[in-house]
Amino acid sequence: MTHSRRKGATYEREVGKYLDAALDHRYEALNRSGFDGADGKIDNDISVEMKNQKTMNLAGWLDQAWEQSEGKLPIVIHKRRGKTDIGQHYVTMDVATFLELVKHRAPF
């Protein structure tokens, strides 16, 4: 496994553990780094792609997330340089996905 694949796989495991704990075990890892398919899903309606890359490629990452979403709402979680707390990393989605999430969320 190359260094970049190891880095990606480690990030996916760390974020997966974070999501699983924060969401009461509603996150499910689906894929190993470097293979086709989404990296994970939340419940059965959100597809998760994770990226730990030095250069951001938001459009390309979102395209990949859509291609691999299998009808779920796609999001991309990507590392924020200089921040080790996963809660401070970024989530990227398009406006249509954002609106679907807001429409179907439970009230506070």
**What is the value of pTM for the model shown?**
0.90
Q: Per residue in 13-39, pLDDT tens?
A: 999 999 999 999 999 999 765 567 899
**The 3-state secondary structure of the chain, one letter per residue:** CCHHHHHHHHHHHHHHHHHHHHCCCCEEECCCCCCCCCCEEECCCEEEEEECCCCCCHHHHHHHHHHCCCCCEEEEEECCCCCCCHHHCEEECCHHHHHHHHHCCCCC
pLDDT of 29 reads 92
pLDDT of 8 reads 85
- Give all domains of the chain, ordered by start, each with its CATH number: 3-103 (3.40.1350)
